[in-house]
Structure 1
Amino acid sequence: MNQFNYYMPTRILFGKGQLNNLHEQKLPGRKALIVISSGKSTRSNGYLERVEKELDKANIEHIVFDKILPNPIKSHVMEGAACARENGCDFILGLGGGSSIDSAKAIAVMATNPGDYWDYISGGTGKGQPVPNKPLPIVAITTTAGTGTEADPWTVTTKEETMEKIGFGYDDTFPYLSIVDPDLMLTVPDDLTAYQGFDALFHSTEGYINRYANEVSDMFALKAIELIGRNLAKAVKDGNDEDARAKIALGNTLAGIVETTSGCTSEHSMEHAMSAYQPKLPHGAGLIMISKAYYEHFVHSGACDDKMIAMAKAMGKENAARPMDFVDALTDLQRACGVADLKMSDYNIRREELPQYVAKARDTMGGLFEVDPVDISDADALKIMEASFK
């Protein structure tokens, strides 16, 4: 049996209608900063109003910070933290997708700590300093199934001045409480359902082939791959399919637990570089673009043949017998979800710029290359990017 560390301090309320139980929970403060995106959906779908009513029932004061972008930026983290301090908020509630909840975690850190957020970031121009004070407690209410951030300590932020998109997190950035209510995901458009679902899938596949994967992470990863791989196309085709939505939501949350027990590989490093330079590129879409060539690299390496076959079987290829069956299952799912033909060029990525994306991936999140099942050199990464370019 492998050695592993398992720490999961988050209370997760999962299932249909769970948002209605928020007011009954022991919340970690008396005044919340509600962090939402700058878009309209959180308000127009009534989710913000429902959360506010739940907090009112619990006699919890609240204010709203509504500037978060799909690819969160450091300046909004600093602004949100100042807002929390100035208004005497004693916990942060992230409501929305991964960007809102990730930002809530980063805001919680900076609401109680001095200096700049990048003082505590490792990689790139980050100073990697220890965080002196505990963050404010975090409550996560997810309205998408994409990052699993409700079940892990991680948060990803871009320093816009230097185009560095870097992950961060430690034990104190686990949410105190998370609510995963699939009913809140029924309104997600089909394209975003696909992008987010593939992000969750890749958290699971990367965590499964990670060279430091273990018995516990493998268990969660394979179940997440099964749930997402067999249900994502259904949710994309019919967003009101409650059974498919619930299974994708569960797969996503399990993928978050994979992130706490194993972790991402260099696929995420490479995509972070892409969406750091091109912030309008949805993270999941970028992952889809490079995924076929990325996993083909491991097929050709022979480094994780058994795991590739196991992932293919989990996705529904019951008779899988060769590593390439996983790549075939992956591309079949992308076609079924209508995302097989995404183009880097549609997001202003040019072929001649690909070496700078590879360099940025290594500089900002080079640690993820160290956990790949076989070493990926810069030349290898460039070949993957070039093979993915359209």
Structure 2
Amino acid sequence: MSVQKAIAVVELAQPIRLIERPVPKPGPGEVLVKVSIAGREYLYCYVNPNLRSRLIGVVEQKNVTDPLANSFVPPHAVNPHDVLVREIGYFVGKDNLPGVLAIDIVGEIIQLGQNVDNDNFKIGDRVMGQGDPSVSDTKGSQEYAVLDADFIAHLPSAVSPDQADTIILNPLTSYVALFSPLGLDIPSPLDGAKTDFDYHRTSIVIIGGSSACGRFAIQLSKWVGMGTVVTVAGKHGESVLKSLGATHVIDRSIPDEDIQRQVRNIVGDDLLYVIDCNNRADHTPGIRMLSNAKKGTIVPLAAARPNTVDEAKIGPKQQGYNFKKFVCRPVLFRETAAQFYKALTQLIDHGVLKPTPFQVIEGLDADKINAQLDRWRDGQWPPRVNIHVS
């Protein structure tokens, strides 16, 4: 077992191909997994205007056809991660080809590296985990992958393996945005420390609540008992978002001024927390929602984009405001990510985190995967794909 099959980007802006590459070996603190399912997530990111025109011209014209997948799509660049890997080498880099795809992984542990706690993970365990978008050995469109033992969890019993594969990257992103110093820095119940933080009296606004990250941010806000969870999203998804924990849903299609007015009618001048899951460059509207008398924080999740704020239009922020952003790579915040993945199985089994829609491609089928990437590139926006590798 020294060589394996993999789907990879071999040449930028060309179809991905089925190749052979070495089976990686787990290093200290890593496990080798026989991949069962490789999931492919959407990722908001910035690309330069020429690439934007080539990759997402249809989306710029709002020519989208799947209302569920696009209930959150703004008139800016919203791209599946792996389209940009294929087209421009995003994360992978042109000097690191071939580049394997997919970072949400379900599989079976077949080898333990040094220093892996045998009390937590054993050979034969079925696990779910996140690869590193920059490291092909850790990615899922291949028969075997190495995963950091801090970033895996046992498969839950309450959902299917396919459903579990949809609850890996995006909920971590939302968790970091809510509970890490990189984000809003709200105390997390997973910290185990006593806190006098009053969740019930806390209000939060989640812009783009119908996105995957938006949905998980709503669910996690409900989990800690936040009293007011306002989301800006498509009104046709209101019932779903309220079932996940939103207390108020504001129609994203109305003018920004009307959205801000409705937010203030709900929370007054007490809002300290905003998460923006939309791929907008201008964060003036979100900052305007924040309290004028107290220092609030906004966390945009489109970390790869440059950001602009019109300071003349944000209102009299007497105490200023915090603007935080991060890239969701667990190695950059190991302690927080490890804390989350240690609790992930229980969070799913207890119904805190619920799966998102998906469709399946059987096998490492380059033609079908290319066709799916083309559909995303062309703005047709099907649900995320789970590749059944084995």
Task: Give your verdict on TM over 0.5.
Answer: no
Q: Please identify which structure carries the higher strand content.
A: 2
Taking structure 1 as the reference length, the TM-score comes to: 0.25
Structure number with the higher helix fraction is: 1
TM-score (norm: length of structure 2): 0.25
